[in-house]
Amino acid sequence: MPEQVMNPKEHTPKPSVDERIDERAERVKQATSQAVASTREKVDRAAERVEQGLHHATDKTASAAHRTVDKAAEVGEQGRAAYEHTRERADEFLEQAREYVREKPMQSIAIALGAGWLLGRILRR
């Protein structure tokens, strides 16, 4: 055990240099441990906030992707419906043309000849 020196003004033993070094080293260790613990807590809180932000962003992105897929399916269905409607109208028109040709074959031939002649004149230019 290190020897203690008496303080001349007081009658209490003065801590030796070794004891003071050890005491101050212990204080530095405690302060360091507290600083590290505080920093660790702050880093953990920041990491939790980042994680929550990333989860929120991921959820929003997934939601937007779902809405996009749903909208694409809706637009695709509208396109199919428009195609079917157009196709039905074309079939109706073709059936009307066939019916007209059956009912009025001579007029149909005259119209076809006139349309052919006119188309030939237009394409020749």
Q: What is the pLDDT of residues 66-116, one digit of tens each?
A: 999 999 999 999 999 999 999 999 999 999 999 999 999 999 999 999 999
Spatial distance between the Cα atoms of 18 and 3, rounded to a whole number of angstroms: 9
Residue 6 lies in a domain: no
Q: Give the structural domain span for 85.
A: 15-120
Containing H/E element for 6?
strand 5-6
Residue 53 lies in a domain: yes
Mean pLDDT over 18-37 rounds to 93
Spatial distance between the Cα atoms of 4 and 10, rounded to a whole number of angstroms: 13
Residue 38 lies in a domain: yes
Q: Which region holds residue 4: left if phi is over 0, alpha if psi is between -120 and 50, else beta?
A: beta
Residue 33 lies in a domain: yes
* pLDDT of 33 above 70: yes
Residue 86 lies in a domain: yes
- The total of structural domains in the chain comes to 1
* pLDDT of 48 above 60: yes
Length of the chain: 125
Spatial distance between the Cα atoms of 72 and 89, rounded to a whole number of angstroms: 25
Residue 7 lies in a domain: no
pLDDT at 4 (0 to 100): 52
